[in-house]
Amino acid sequence: MTKGERLYEGKAKIVYITDDPDLLLIHFKDDATAFNGQKKGTISDKGVLNARISAALFRYLAEHGVANHFVDLPSEREMVARRLSIVPLEVVVRNVAAGSLAKRLGLAEGTRLARTVLEFYYKRDDLGDPLVNEYHIRALDLATPEEVAQLAATSLRVNDLLAAHLKPRRLELIDFKLEFGRTRDGQILLGDEISPDTCRFWDTETGERLDKDRFRRDLGGVEEAYQEVWRRIAG
């Protein structure tokens, strides 16, 4: 496989085309952003660690029946993935009140929710990725009702699988963001990444935050937190 031209560059990744029309090469950067790009910085080796963590979790999910875009990890910060047309929705899965949900509902951070909450956000950087419901999704023709149902069911399945996988590794899955895309034949696959950038991981014993909140909130020990997540996932 040959790396081709740059297709897209986002806040955390650069995507390249390849000589295979169905495959892309994703380069994970060390750049870090928060608050819709208002805060910027660099986390040493973040790209390497996020690529490794994502690959390990994508492999685990595939082994348990969750189809996703991961193909291979040819280098320490590059991932080969199936080419997808991204569904312009982010699915956020919440098990414990934290971040924006805690503020929005007036809950103390760390409050366990009576049931898992699913939220949909419209992927529009210029609008700040606003929260939307199924009526908005239908009105904007972002996805069909059947696709929305599939995204929800898959997201809940991913939540169950990851929570069970991470518990013996002393990581509590507080909340996380998922993205999906369509293949050329219309199949919907899980895409993007699963990492401390997109998940809140708390130590099950101490409650220590082991994710990008350390960067958002200037808590220090950011690099060490990402390294610790990888150590636990790698076993």
- pLDDT digit string, tens, across residues 4-54: 999 999 999 999 999 999 999 999 999 999 887 788 999 999 999 999 999
Beta strands 23-28 and 13-18, pairing class: antiparallel
Cα separation, 79 vs 193, whole angstroms: 10
Decide: 73 and 55 in contact? Cβ < 8 Å. yes
**pLDDT at 68 exceeding the cut of 90:** yes
221-233: per-residue pLDDT in tens? 999 999 999 999 9
What pLDDT, on the 0 to 100 scale, is given for residue 50? 98
Kindly tell me the burial class for residue 231, based on how many C-beta atoms sit within 10 Å of its own C-beta (0-12, 13-18, 19 or more): exposed
165-218: per-residue pLDDT in tens? 999 999 999 999 999 999 999 999 999 999 999 999 999 999 999 999 999 999
Cα separation, 79 vs 82, whole angstroms: 10
What pLDDT, on the 0 to 100 scale, is given for residue 37? 73
Cα separation, 104 vs 108, whole angstroms: 11
Q: Give the residues across from 70 on adjacent strands.
A: 81
At 84, phi and psi to the nearest 5? -125, 150
What pLDDT, on the 0 to 100 scale, is given for residue 81? 98
Phi-psi region of 46 (alpha: psi -120 to 50; beta: other; left: phi over 0): alpha
What pLDDT, on the 0 to 100 scale, is given for residue 36? 76
What pLDDT, on the 0 to 100 scale, is given for residue 38? 81
Q: Which domains does the chain have, with CATH numbers?
A: 3-82 (3.30.200.20), 85-221 (3.30.470.20)
The pTM assigned to this predicted structure is 0.96
C-alpha dist (Å) from residue 149 to 26, 63, 208: 28, 22, 34
96-112: per-residue pLDDT in tens? 999 999 999 999 999 99
One-character DSSP codes across the chain: --EEEEEEE-SSEEEEEESSTTEEEEEEPSEEEETTTTEEEE-TTHHHHHHHHHHHHHHHHHHTT--BSEEEEEETTEEEEE--EEEEEEEEEEEE--HHHHHHHTPPTTPEEEEEEEEEEE--GGGT--EE-HHHHHHTTSS-HHHHHHHHHHHHHHHHHHHHHHGGGTEEEEEEEEEEEE-TTS-EEE-S--STTTEEEEETTT--B-STHHHHTT-S-HHHHHHHHHHHHH-
Q: Which residues contact residue 106 at a Cβ distance below 8 angstroms, ignoring those fewer than 6 apart?
A: none
> Helix crossing, 222-234 with 46-63: angle to 10°?
30
What pLDDT, on the 0 to 100 scale, is given for residue 35? 83
What pLDDT, on the 0 to 100 scale, is given for residue 222? 97
